[in-house]
């Protein structure tokens, strides 16, 4: 099998290319082709001798990421991409343009296995982990296809990044590396359902990325019902890991809370949420749940969501409602992939 050249970091590539008997500047050229000029093939690397390009093509591969669908929203500046991996697996990514820059939401696994009740990606189960190159190249392809420079990255697409820990951490290092796209770690957010041991490990990586926790419920009992993973890592433990992350990194935690009508939008939820979050340096992001065809969860109406937010605000919680993007293009997690694979 050919080696995935795009998953090698700067030092690893230098070693590898040195091992072929090439001078160090060749490795620098190749790294630049892969991670700055965003080449999709060795043929594009025109400042390399033909012989070397041939050899690279024989021994290495740049993992394919074929655009299987590209949808542009009519409602807001949002674009959705469905990419086909070399082995036929499908993943999705989203580009959202904001006044402060362009943000890309990427997938970290093909499918996932945490089984959250409201999640479209959980329906098919986990196919496999993505390599660092497959995470990087979602951003590279989008930048190339749209001509837009990407300044922010959120790892909130399909998959649980902390269930693919080593590849994820390598991806963050390569994405923020000065030899590559050099995206500021402060502009990167990772969302987790709460894999406690790896949240604690992440706190020790020396990163400046934002950690977002999928909270979704205000008590252990309610959380378990929505998120089976809470059976393994209880609410207390998860909040403890968030505190540890904040203490170690100084980065304020984001809590994500999908509002589901009649399930977690009641007055008692406001009370319990306030108890949990007051005194924590954090930000609460309310996301009216996106209806998924296979599930019967509904979102509260606009006024109810506003009420929920206002009550929390009065209680001193730093809270916002996430503005919806791309609902006309299956913008929400897993929906485009789900429709595509179900239609086959
Ligand atoms: N596995 C990670 C990241 C992927 S999901 C995690 O669990 O955090 C990104 C966010 O979207 C999570 O907060 C997830 O709970 C939420 N989400 C999933 N399905 C949703 C839906 N149908 N409506 C609203 N939010 C949803």
pLDDT in tens, 233-246: 999 999 999 999 99
Write down the catalytic residue from 92, 134, 160, 256.
92
pLDDT above 70 coverage of the chain, percent: 95
Report CA(112)–ligand 1 centroid distance (Å): 11
Tell me the CA distances in angstroms from 153 to 94, 182, 188, 255, one per residue in order.
10, 12, 5, 17
**Does 190 sit in the ligand 1 pocket, CB within 6 Å?**
no
Delineate the domains of the chain, giving CATH numbers in brackets: 3-61 (1.10.150.530), 66-343 (3.20.20.70)
Report CA(192)–ligand 1 centroid distance (Å): 9
Task: Label residue 248 by pLDDT band (50, 70, 90).
Answer: very high
pLDDT of residue 336: 60
**Does 156 sit in the ligand 1 pocket, CB within 6 Å?**
yes
Question: Average pLDDT of the chain?
Answer: 93
**Does 229 sit in the ligand 1 pocket, CB within 6 Å?**
no
Report CA(113)–ligand 1 centroid distance (Å): 13
> Is 44 an annotated catalytic residue?
no
Task: Label residue 337 by pLDDT band (50, 70, 90).
Answer: low
Report CA(172)–ligand 1 centroid distance (Å): 20
Report CA(333)–ligand 1 centroid distance (Å): 7
> Is 92 an annotated catalytic residue?
yes
Task: Label residue 344 by pLDDT band (50, 70, 90).
Answer: very low
- Among the ranges given (34-38, 112-116, 242-246), the one the predictor scored with the smallest mean pLDDT: 112-116
**Does 106 sit in the ligand 1 pocket, CB within 6 Å?**
no
Is the pLDDT reported for residue 181 higher than 90? yes
**Does 118 sit in the ligand 1 pocket, CB within 6 Å?**
yes
**Between 126 and 344, whose confidence is greater?**
126
Q: Which long-range contacts (CB under 8 A, 24 or more apart) does 322-327 make?
A: 322/285, 322/286, 322/287, 322/288, 324/288, 325/73, 325/76, 325/78, 325/94, 325/96, 326/73, 326/75, 326/76, 326/78, 326/79, 326/80, 326/94, 326/96, 327/75, 327/290
Instruction: Give nearest CA residue, ligand 1 atom 9.
Output: 156
Instruction: Give nearest CA residue, ligand 1 atom 4.
Output: 156
Stretch 160-173: mean pLDDT: 97
Task: Label residue 164 by pLDDT band (50, 70, 90).
Answer: very high
Instruction: Give nearest CA residue, ligand 1 atom 5.
Output: 156
Output the pTM of the full model.
Answer: 0.94
Place of tokens 């429709």: 339
pLDDT of residue 120: 79
- Among the ranges given (212-216, 282-286, 297-301), the one the predictor scored with the smallest mean pLDDT: 297-301
**60-61 and 3-4 strand pairing:** parallel
């Amino acid at each position: 099998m050919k080696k995935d050249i795009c998953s090698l970091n700067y030092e690893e590539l230098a070693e590898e290319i040195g091992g072929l008997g090439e001078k160090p500047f060749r490795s620098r050229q190749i790294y630049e082709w892969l991670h700055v000029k965003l080449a999709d093939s060795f043929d594009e690397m025109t400042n390399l001798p033909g012989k070397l390009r041939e050899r690279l093509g024989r021994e290495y591969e740049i993992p394919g990421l074929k655009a299987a669908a590209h949808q542009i929203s009519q409602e807001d500046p949002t674009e959705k991409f469905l990419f086909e991996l070399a082995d036929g697996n499908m993943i999705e990514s989203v580009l959202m343009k904001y006044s402060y820059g362009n943000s890309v939401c990427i997938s970290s696994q093909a499918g996932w296995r945490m089984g959250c009740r409201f999640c479209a990606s959980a329906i098919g189960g986990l196919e496999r982990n993505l390599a660092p190159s497959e995470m990087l190249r979602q951003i590279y392809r989008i930048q190339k296809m749209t001509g837009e420079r990407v300044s922010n990255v959120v790892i909130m697409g399909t998959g649980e990044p902390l269930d693919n820990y080593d590849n994820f951490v390598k991806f963050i290092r390569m994405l923020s590396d000065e030899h590559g796209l050099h995206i500021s770690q402060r502009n990167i957010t990772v969302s987790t359902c709460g894999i406690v041991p790896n949240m604690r490990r992440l706190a020790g990586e020396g990163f400046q990325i934002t950690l977002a926790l999928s909270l979704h419920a205000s008590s252990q009992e309610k959380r378990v019902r929505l998120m089976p993973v809470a059976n393994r890592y209880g609410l207390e433990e998860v909040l403890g890991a968030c505190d540890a992350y904040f203490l170690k990194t100084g980065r304020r935690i984001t809590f994500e809370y999908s509002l589901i009508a009649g399930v977690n939008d009641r007055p008692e939820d406001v009370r319990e949420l306030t108890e949990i979050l007051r005194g924590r340096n954090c930000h609460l992001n309310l996301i009216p749940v996106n209806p998924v065809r296979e599930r019967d969860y509904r979102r509260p109406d606009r006024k109810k969501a506003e009420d929920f937010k206002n009550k929390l605000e009065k209680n001193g919680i730093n809270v916002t409602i996430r503005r919806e993007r791309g609902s006309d293009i299956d913008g929400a997690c897993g929906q485009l992939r789900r429709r595509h694979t179900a239609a086959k």
